[in-house]
Amino acid sequence: MTTSESRLFDLPTPVERPLSLAGQFTRHNDKLDLRLADTAEPDTDAHVASAQQPASDTRVAITAIRAERLYASTEITETLMRLTQLAYLSTASTGHHPRTARDLTALAPDAAVSCAETLAAEMRRRGR
């Protein structure tokens, strides 16, 4: 297998992207939890870089899912809307105190997994 062929198989599928996001949001939330538990008054900007990466990767996932040109069922539309909300909340969390930031992204890992499940079911149902 050539190098270009091996890279072809390294690209994440549209279903893998939200699963990866779940891990990113979990790590982000864990960092916030540690910072909040470690000091009485945490650094107010410490979480900004941690929140920017999942926000950016969520937008990339949305683009990848749209590129699949799936039938715009209610489930796919809701999945794309939920991912858009996650990107927005993650971006918005950078402008808030770490406690508020943690609240804004608290449900993101579960929501990302749910999006992956819905996407996988829809793709399977459509024979993709």
Per-residue HEC secondary structure of 52-115 comes to HHHHHHHHHHHHHHHHCCCCCCHHHHHHHHHHHHHHHHHHHHCCCCHHHHHHHHCCHHHHHHHH
The pLDDT score that the predictor gives to residue 98 is 87
**Segment 68-77, tens digit of pLDDT:** 887 778 998 9
Mean of the pLDDT values across residues 9-33?
Answer: 88
pTM score:
0.83
pLDDT of residue 127 exceeding 50, the answer is yes
Residue 127, C-beta contacts closer than 8 angstroms, at least 6 positions apart: none
- Tens-digit pLDDT profile for residues 24-57: 999 999 999 988 887 666 566 767 888 899 999 9
